[in-house]
Amino acid sequence: MSEYWNVMVPELIVLNFNESLEFYTNVLGFHVKFQRTNPDFAYLVYEDQVQIMIEAYHETGWNTGELLYPLGRGINLQIEVKNVDVLIGNLKIRNYPFFRELICSEYIEDDVIHRQKEFLVQDPNGYLLRFCEVQE
Residue 64 in any domain: the answer is no
Q: Check pLDDT > 70 for residue 131.
A: yes
Spatial distance between the Cα atoms of 80 and 66, rounded to a whole number of angstroms = 31
Residue 6 in any domain: the answer is no
Q: 19-62, pLDDT tens digit by residue? A: 999 999 999 999 999 999 999 999 999 998 999 999 999 999 99
Task: Provide the pLDDT for residue 99.
Answer: 97
Q: Read off the CATH number of the domain in which 42 is found.
A: 3.10.180.10
Number of domains in the chain: 1
Residue 108 in any domain: the answer is yes
- How large a percentage of the chain has pLDDT more than 90? 85
What's the pTM? 0.91
Round the average pLDDT of the chain to a whole number and report it.
94
Domain extent, residue 131, equals 11-59+69-135
Q: 62-80, pLDDT tens digit by residue? A: 989 899 999 999 999 999 9
Spatial distance between the Cα atoms of 2 and 57, rounded to a whole number of angstroms = 28
Is-contact 79 65, C-beta < 8 A?
no
Residue 82 in any domain: the answer is yes
Residue 32 in any domain: the answer is yes
Q: 100-111, pLDDT tens digit by residue? A: 999 999 989 999
Closest Cα to residue 87, out of 47, 52, 127, 124? 47
Task: Provide the pLDDT for residue 51.
Answer: 97
Task: Provide the pLDDT for residue 136.
Answer: 75
**Mean pLDDT along residues 6-16:** 95
